[in-house]
Structure 1
Amino acid sequence: MSDPLRLGTRGSKLALAQSQGVADALTAATGREVRLVEITTYGDVSNEPLAGIGGTGVFVNALREALLDGRVDVAVHSLKDLPTADAEGLTLAAVPTRADPRDALCARDGLTLGELPPGSTVGTGSPRRSAQLRALGLDLEVVPIRGNVDTRLSKVADGELDGVVLAHAGLARLGRLDSVTEVLDPLQMLPAPGQGALAVECRSDAAELVNMLAVVDDPTTRAAVLAERTLLAVLDSGCSAPVGAYAVAAEGDYAPDDASTGATVQLELYVRGAVISGDGAVNIRKSVTGPVEKAEELGRQLAHELLDDGAGAVVGVEPPAPKEENVS
């Protein structure tokens, strides 16, 4: 009998719930026992704002170190926390089916964003959410907060805040959807790249394990988050940047199927991106559509269109050089 697979995870309730879901799926698909191993990351022990401690990687680096030094065989991350650059010696072996990527408001008295009185305090630890809340022009006071889901929800229950904005996926995984007073339309609040998705990493040289983990990979989810994360990488921005992205796969044109006389459905990827200044005054939004197989190219194209519209000044990236005209 094979030894239990050691799955590295952060120790928060949400991380444990996410990781247990992946562990159960692996066991169901392969029969292999999976044991969770809790790893403490710097982001778990620091009370500083994420932007102040580096943002990207603060919830990931310790788990990656545990993979590389052999303490765990597999690690599960929230994909939106994962740096866009490849990690030497590691591979993204699986991206399971994505949960609802939208943001959700949890407010007092069952109120929606539009029903909150001017001057109401809304808490979030995300510059992306803060910027988009301010861009709505609702005269809300956006307050920076840290802490786990229960800590943030308690600030509303105790009257310290009028509302908080959290990821719908996290609330669902913790069984806290009863706290949601409004699920925010992406037209109002574009999610973070990769939000709602999980990343399953292992060592690149563990070929047998890489093949085994493929059973929990969802190709459509992987394509969507590839487009979103490519956009983020081109903009040279991390998880704490005011950048939103959301890709959705839908049925597109019908194409002939070489293997039969019938037809197959061509999946199209609709990708939206946004870059918003911290005060909400600059709000640049663009979208592109194309074949799902071109996910990376679509993310890159959208990023350059955002840069062409001035997004570089918001995220601190030089705009692309102007194309030379053919004057011959």
Structure 2
Amino acid sequence: MTERALRLGTRRSKLAMAQSGQVADAVRQLTGRPVELVEITTYGDTSREHLAQIGGTGVFVAALRDALLAGEVDFAVHSLKDLPTTQHPELALAAIPKREDPRDVLIAREGLTLDRLPKGARIGTGSPRRMAQLHAYARSHGLTIETVPIRGNIDTRVGYVHKGELDAVVLAAAGLNRIGGTAELTGSLSLDHLSVDTVLPAPGQGALAIECVASDAALVAALAELDDPHTRAAVTAERSLLAALEAGCSAPVGALADLLADGQVVTEMRLRGVVGTTDGSTLVQLSTTGPVPTSHGDAIALGRELASEMLAKGAAGLMGERAL
């Protein structure tokens, strides 16, 4: 008797469907079971307000989680950076697959790059994190830029540049990579992958989260085969920093953990964090290095350690609210 298809809950966007399709393929190969995509519309998809206005945290995942808890889907795929830092008590974060490129990319007209933008260049982004770091870069390099809040899917955002309404937009490199067809999407526009020394990504950017109900032990165990331990350790440290700052995914916070190697041997993990005012006038940017985490608790401790140092340097005041 053929086992019933596993139902994978996903948002309807082109990017969500692409990354969920990739996970579905992996689960089919892993389990030998058919997997069908179940499209779910989230509040973040239907609201036209900017993320900071609607709360940011969880607006793209709540409907998917409701479907999981109601038994309408068996597991769900999220962009990890959209996931609240507090784990739902009835759900398991069964797998965090190997991370895609965590960097941001500037898509600009006429072959422009970040350091060659014209005076008064208009850059589209709805992210306070990106705004803060782009303005800080411009200030330090004698550039004048204007950041323009935008929303919409990848095609819509790139379209603003094609139509000449904006000089550039900033997107996550991982999203472009996952949908493929970048050349067809961008055409004659230029792609400038921004160094993480210039713009730190959002905590968890480039990583996916695969959730299912915690009570389904067999499914949790099966999905866990897709987990990448290095990615999980890195994003756990980044999200621990975010949680300790008491900031949500729409706050002007960037973080990236990476592994440092001595030859072929991985020896340490470095965690970098940044908090800034959206006009870029003030940034708190620090890093810490420690042993490669061997447990969930070790990764959390690394994030909390850096958050404590950043708060001592005044990070709370830069987020517009008190963080303890």
Whether the 8 Å CA contact 1:266–1:291 is kept in 2: the answer is: no
Letter in 1 for 2:41: T
Is 1:148 the equivalent of 2:158? no
- Aligned identity (percent) is 59
TM-score by length of 2: 0.93
State the SS of the aligned residue for 1:87.
coil
**Separation in 2 of the partners of 1:211 and 1:95?**
13
**Separation in 2 of the partners of 1:299 and 1:75?**
26
**Separation in 1 of the partners of 2:246 and 2:266?**
31
Is 1:311 the equivalent of 2:315? yes
Letter in 2 for 1:148: N
**Separation in 2 of the partners of 1:288 and 1:58?**
31
Whether the 8 Å CA contact 1:252–1:268 is kept in 2: the answer is: no
State the SS of the aligned residue for 1:110.
coil
1:316 Cα deviation (Å)? 4.6
Is 1:208 the equivalent of 2:221? no
Which residue pairs with 2:114 in the alignment?
Answer: 113
1:245 Cα deviation (Å)? 0.1
Which residue pairs with 1:236 in the alignment?
Answer: 246
**Separation in 2 of the partners of 1:71 and 1:278?**
40
**Separation in 2 of the partners of 1:74 and 1:11?**
15
Equivalent residue in structure 1 for 2:204, among 163, 181, 194: 194
**Separation in 1 of the partners of 2:39 and 2:113?**
37
- CA displacement, residues 301-327 of structure 1 (integer Å, 9 cap, x when unaligned): 01111101110111255576xxxxxxx
1:267 Cα deviation (Å)? 4.0
**Separation in 2 of the partners of 1:267 and 1:212?**
30
State the SS of the aligned residue for 1:200.
strand
Give runs of aligned pairs for residues 148-187 of structure 1, distance below 5 A.
148-178=153-183, 179=186, 180-187=190-197
Equivalent residue in structure 1 for 2:227, among 201, 217, 221: 217
Tell me the matched-pair count. Answer: 310
Say if 1:118 and 1:176 are closer, same or farther in 2 by CA, change over 3 A: farther
**Separation in 2 of the partners of 1:45 and 1:319?**
30
Which residue pairs with 1:276 in the alignment?
Answer: 276
1:278 Cα deviation (Å)? 1.4
**Separation in 2 of the partners of 1:276 and 1:9?**
32
TM-score by length of 1: 0.92
Letter in 2 for 1:231: L
- Note the residue ranges of structure 1 that are not aligned, 5 or more in a row: 255-264, 321-328
**Separation in 1 of the partners of 2:20 and 2:323?**
39
Whether the 8 Å CA contact 2:286–2:310 is kept in 1: the answer is: yes
Extract structure 1 runs of 4+ deviating beyond 6 A: none
What is the Cα-based RMSD across aligned positions, in Å? 1.5
Whichever of the two has the greater Rg, that structure is 1
**Separation in 2 of the partners of 1:81 and 1:202?**
16
Whether the 8 Å CA contact 1:228–1:299 is kept in 2: the answer is: yes
